[in-house]
Structure 1
């Protein structure tokens, strides 16, 4: 099992900086689970990234303020070695997430600073073309320090209902868009409890539920598909510690069968493990597992569901855990030091 990480190499904004390398490629021994660095690719401030296995491409961006001219980057991949094949302008600031929608052969880039989402179509070789759509939002919510305007944070393709879902941390909203004649058009919008700050979203394998990680309140919003739209059901806390609206929840991931949810919490430097019963519609916190480092910004579950890898952004460390397939609980395997400023992890 091989995987990539990206890392911040310079200041992103006030309070967020890094001294990483760029993009790194690791191999893992399938028997001992020992992690070995195979390749390092120096790249300026790559944030989240996504992979296109069919065309052997890796897509990322420079996470920079708008006045610094962030770029969308496309790399050809070859067993962990990367060759830059395309660099395009991003009409926005602080891009923070990117997704690849295979059905519509395009990329969606979410911009935190400017609150917009950009669509880039791909050619027959998987190389992005100039931006074809700029989806803009405005507004704000009750937390005036963090929600003074729209803050795009993630896009997710809901295959079960053929919808593009967008999370807006600044507006406390989830937008659903339909694809019509080459463009994504607004279908519905869903308001979540004010002040939560929806950051990332995952979907249950049965297609009927989504789980939204709310960054500021450290809560997961359960969404259910009913009456031909996504509806809010309830919020469940991922923490037992008081945090005064500074939970700083980060990534959220789901086990293969959908029974266990994992949520990173930067306030407590831990991964919260929760169990979801889709029959009773109950989500319960099982445990909070320390990541043995500072700022678990991102983590990923291996394709076979057997392990979880966490990047501790501010302590130059990466942690691997084994996942108990019956209980969902995590057991420490290895701590790897010296991997600086990790902000995204993805298995090949």
Structure 2
């Protein structure tokens, strides 16, 4: 009897594992409505090969994407870099029918939306608007559609750089690990803004006693990520080419380190972009655009401090966004100016990267997200 029970459980576990597939979602700066603005590929988790799965047209500039926790819906920043416009859009992803179907759009509450994120309960969507420096929060309906804006906050304060920091430029919108706080790196103001997030309220963003963490002047904080242990946070600073590491607890960030994403020979022209941590928490990766077009690789020690261990070319120009799959086996980089997507295999022991498979081409590819479904 025990053997039969064990075999039955083994069958259920293995069936669940092998019934899941890993999908790669690609967004783009695409003003041609007849072209495929969002593409979806299936990732071969043994060889790293990408196979076309589906796509969608008739969407302008879906520059940044995120996938719902259950994998059924895709949300995008749309009408990005479009004067007097800006929206967020929802799509239904059906793996059986192999379709990605437009559901609806809402105004983004500010020009040039650049980042969207979904609460872990799948009931809230938030987006950051770069040009006008604002954040918007929306309820999500059970059918995946985006409801009207619940809250919108606009910011006006800037910082010291007269060319790039005359006003706020919110560049990302990131939930804390428990989704009880919400962080907004503001490139224009040299701040990481923070709200408490009450998922049970109609207006979930709640002001706190610590509304922001001030970064170094002319840092230009861009993207932010948390360590899997939930104790540390890391912010990549676009203008300064640095990463600031923080101890994190209950919405409060305390800086413990600041380290360059570039080799010492690079003195100016920084365009640091994206930042992610491997699922095992041992390595941090960050992209550099402009002069280098590479991924900086860091080890993370037991105190959360970073140590530079190498650089990997992205084999293209302007790597805006990259992603690591949930197993930690692969890292996929998207290069905007050369319109190519490269799959790298991660070495679990060293953290180093090695190109695998053939590159995929997509004009003006701006974003990549990976989701196992």
Once the two structures are superposed, the pairs formed by residues 1-348 of structure 1 within 5 Å of their partners are 1-10=22-31, 21-42=36-57, 43-54=59-70, 56-65=72-81, 67-79=83-95, 80-103=98-121, 105-160=123-178, 162-180=180-198, 181-183=201-203, 184-187=205-208, 188=210, 189-225=212-248, 229-267=252-290, 268-279=292-303, 281-348=304-371
In structure 2, distance between residues paired with 1:337 and 1:85: 27
1:238 Cα deviation from its structure 2 partner: 1.2
Question: What SS does structure 2 have at the residue aligned with 1:26?
Answer: strand
In structure 1, distance between residues paired with 2:343 and 2:318: 15
The answer on whether the counterparts of 1:190 and 1:232 sit within 8 Å (CA) in structure 2 is no
Task: Return 5+ residue gaps in structure 1 as ranges.
Answer: 12-18
The answer on whether the counterparts of 1:251 and 1:298 sit within 8 Å (CA) in structure 2 is yes
CA 1:296–1:335 in 2, change beyond 3 Å: closer, same or farther? farther
- Structure 1 segments, 4+ long, off by >6 Å, are none
In structure 1, distance between residues paired with 2:298 and 2:104: 40
Larger Rg: 2
The answer on whether the counterparts of 1:300 and 1:308 sit within 8 Å (CA) in structure 2 is yes
In structure 2, distance between residues paired with 1:29 and 1:169: 37
What TM-score do you get using the length of structure 2 for normalisation?
Answer: 0.86
The answer on whether the counterparts of 1:63 and 1:96 sit within 8 Å (CA) in structure 2 is no
In structure 2, distance between residues paired with 1:334 and 1:29: 10
The answer on whether the counterparts of 1:273 and 1:286 sit within 8 Å (CA) in structure 2 is yes
Q: Which segment is superposed worse, 322-331 or 27-36?
A: 27-36
The equivalent residue for 1:14 is none
The structure whose residues are more often strand, as a share, is 1
Deviations 1:229-287 (A, max 9, x none): 211222111110544542101110100121100000002110000011133x4311111
The answer on whether the counterparts of 2:69 and 2:122 sit within 8 Å (CA) in structure 1 is no
1:145 Cα deviation from its structure 2 partner: 1.2
In structure 2, distance between residues paired with 1:316 and 1:20: 14
Deviations 1:123-161 (A, max 9, x none): 233321111100222211122211111001111111347
1:340 Cα deviation from its structure 2 partner: 1.7
The answer on whether the counterparts of 1:262 and 1:272 sit within 8 Å (CA) in structure 2 is yes
The answer on whether the counterparts of 1:27 and 1:36 sit within 8 Å (CA) in structure 2 is yes
The equivalent residue for 1:16 is none
The answer on whether the counterparts of 2:339 and 2:365 sit within 8 Å (CA) in structure 1 is yes
What TM-score do you get using the length of structure 1 for normalisation?
Answer: 0.92
The answer on whether the counterparts of 2:85 and 2:112 sit within 8 Å (CA) in structure 1 is no
In structure 2, distance between residues paired with 1:160 and 1:58: 21
Give the alignment's Cα RMSD to 1 decimal.
2.2
Q: Which segment is superposed worse, 47-56 or 258-267?
A: 47-56
In structure 1, distance between residues paired with 2:161 and 2:35: 31
In structure 1, distance between residues paired with 2:206 and 2:75: 24
1:218 Cα deviation from its structure 2 partner: 1.2
The answer on whether the counterparts of 1:175 and 1:186 sit within 8 Å (CA) in structure 2 is no
1:323 Cα deviation from its structure 2 partner: 0.4
